[in-house]
Amino acid sequence: MTLSHFAPNPDAQTAFPTEVPVLIVGGGPVGLTSALLLARQGVRSLLIERHPGTSIHPRARGLNIRTMEIFRSLGLEGAIRAAGASLDRNRYLLWVETLAGAEIRRIPVNGGFDEARPRRV
């Protein structure tokens, strides 16, 4: 893939390779994991992300078992658990219209998913 049309100005493209075997768009959990797994296999890739940093808001409440197995194989389990440790005190998972908007649904995170009830908006 040629990346010249992605560069905002001609000088900026010199910081990136002009061709890569794999272009990964998005630095979320899937993009970052893909980049790590490809690098582990010796495959060159370039990950591009539109945001300059990470979100201050949690992007995931939990990981399934297989996902954590993959992160463990990459040596990331401890860091991931440490990053999510402050969420252990959370009692509910909320669905809201916006961060300051109306609450749509509230689910206890202590395993009581069958107690979940939609809330009227």
* Domain residue ranges of the chain, discontinuous segments joined by +: 4-88, 91-121
- What is the Cα–Cα distance from 46 to 1, expressed in whole angstroms? 10
pLDDT band of 5, cuts 50, 70, 90: very low
Mean pLDDT over residues 57-85, rounded?
84
| CA angle centred on 71, ends 67 and 76, rounded to 5° | 145
pTM of the predicted model as reported, rounded to 2 decimal places: 0.62
Query: Which among 23, 91, 32, 93 is positioned nearest to 58, based on CA atoms?
Result: 93
pLDDT tens, residue by residue, 88-109: 777 888 889 988 899 999 988 7
